[in-house]
Structure 1
Amino acid sequence: MEASGGGGTLSEVYQSAKKLLLRTRDGLERLERLEHSTSAGMNTELSFSIKKDITQIQSLCVEMDRLWRSIAARSQRDIWKRKVEQIAEEAESLRQSLDKYNLRNQKRMMEAKERAELLGRANGASAHVLRIFDEEAQALQSVRNSSRELESANALGEAILSSIHGQRERLKSAQRKALDVLNTVGISNYVLRLIERRHRVDQWIKYAGMLLTVVFLFFFVLWRH
């Protein structure tokens, strides 16, 4: 039987992660094609969207990691473990590619800004160029801040899921111990009942022996007289 959680079955979560991977790859390819275009604002927005998708994929990987561990059949667990690891590796590779793109973009913008500043032009065109670079630098900083917030939220989600998983394992362990104690108590009660029954039988044997002894002595005395 397939494991399921609050976000759906393992297969459903896996399919969602696969769809996000496809969308993220397409978005990253489009971003790299537009890398040297003048639509920097659109590139920044696309970069942020890709980062959100990657963070969501990583969250789904945490959920899938929890789900495949609860599958009873070992062969199925091994299959799903490999699938989840593959998704996680692809997401990490996309994240690294996005980070490299952002670093290149930031370096290119800083170099262009430095060139504009070195020209030292006082006309409006130069001031306009500097303002554009300042705005783009602020936008990139905003993307980085948002990315850090997403990563923090993802880490918090992973910690919560890990805590829930640990609590569930402790509850299972406590339940097993309780069942062992109950089984032990049941066996002890059975043994005590056997001992009590044997004790009663011994008492009856003792009393019967005493009665037979008295009867024997009584008839023996009568026979002597």
Structure 2
Amino acid sequence: MDGGFGGGGATISDMYQRSTKLFIRIRDGLDRLDRLESSSSIMADAPPELSFSIKKDIAQVQSLCADMDRLWRSIASKGQRDLWKRKVEVVAEEADSLKKILDGYLLRHQKRTMEAKERAELLERMNGDSSHVLRIFDEEAQAMQSAQNSHMMVDEAYNTGVAILSKYAEQRDRLKRAQRKALDVLNNVGLSNSVLKLIERRHRVDKWIAYAGMLFTVVVVFLFWRWTH
């Protein structure tokens, strides 16, 4: 019983030849899947019929393998029996390997499909929320412009205060020079000490007035800066 018969009168040799032809068709289909997956075109995708056909052929090989595994055990010759045992094992290993390749492609295809769907949903949400996004950008731009205007106002107030203080300092220096000249003149004409003391008191009063003016200016600039912030 070297040939071994299965259901319907098919021998183990017939089943092996059938599995070999199926392997050729399966590998050709997997090559097509690989070329389509490696294509630079985003739209290049295998039709579902191709992967379904490959999956069907692999299942048929596995069914043949189960039948051959049953038949080789009934072969009378030990040499032939060992030979067919090894052949059936190779067929089973090849079928498992090709099934893993197909499963890997199907898994990657499913992942690409989900990513494409998520991108489409994201774009749809972005298009729907475009007015909201633009409004947020506009509000942020207005806030930045307002902050810039506040900084400009503070800088202007600071520069104005510095200019006023500089004017006070110049006026104080001119007043001191004028008072010194006046004192020199009065000393030269022999004015009394009481008149000189009166002039000195007036000088001190004018000095405190100048200091008070500078302090007031600093306070005004500080309050304006706090108000703008």
Tell me the TM-score normalized by structure 2.
0.50
Q: Please report how far the alpha carbon of residue 43 of structure 1 lies from its aligned counterpart in structure 2 after TM superposition.
A: 2.5
Q: Which amino acid aligns with 1:118?
A: L
Q: Which amino acid aligns with 1:62?
A: A
CA deviation map 1:42-63 (0-9, x unaligned):
5311000000000000000001
> Which residue, out of 90, 100, 117, partners 2:94?
90
> Which residue, out of 57, 61, 79, partners 1:75?
79
Rounded to whole Å, the distance in 1 between the matches of 2:47 and 2:95 is: 20
- Unaligned 5+ runs, structure 2: 128-229
What's 1:52 paired with? 56
Rounded to whole Å, the distance in 2 between the matches of 1:115 and 1:88 is: 41
What's 2:103 paired with? 99
Q: Are 1:34 and 1:43, in contact at CA under 8 Å, matched by a contact in 2?
A: no
CA deviation map 1:160-201 (0-9, x unaligned):
xxxxxxxxxxxxxxxxxxxxxxxxxxxxxxxxxxxxxxxxxx
Rounded to whole Å, the distance in 1 between the matches of 2:33 and 2:125 is: 32
What's 2:137 paired with? none
Residue 2 of structure 1 pairs with residue 6 of structure 2: no
Query: Considering only CA atoms, is the larger Rg found in Structure 1 or Structure 2?
Result: 2
Q: Are 1:31 and 1:43, in contact at CA under 8 Å, matched by a contact in 2?
A: no
Q: RMSD over aligned Cα, in angstroms?
A: 1.7
Rounded to whole Å, the distance in 2 between the matches of 1:112 and 1:6 is: 47
Rounded to whole Å, the distance in 2 between the matches of 1:108 and 1:27 is: 20
- Unaligned 5+ runs, structure 1: 124-225
Rounded to whole Å, the distance in 1 between the matches of 2:78 and 2:30 is: 37
SS at match of 1:4: coil
Tell me the TM-score normalized by structure 1.
0.51
> Which residue, out of 37, 61, 66, partners 2:65?
61
Q: Which has the higher contact order (CA 8 A, sep 6+)?
A: 1
CA deviation map 1:116-141 (0-9, x unaligned):
11111699xxxxxxxxxxxxxxxxxx
Rounded to whole Å, the distance in 2 between the matches of 1:52 and 1:43 is: 15
Aligned residue pairs: how many?
Answer: 122
Identity value in percent: 65
What's 1:111 paired with? 115
What's 1:19 paired with? 21
Q: Please report how far the alpha carbon of residue 77 of structure 1 lies from its aligned counterpart in structure 2 after TM superposition.
A: 0.6
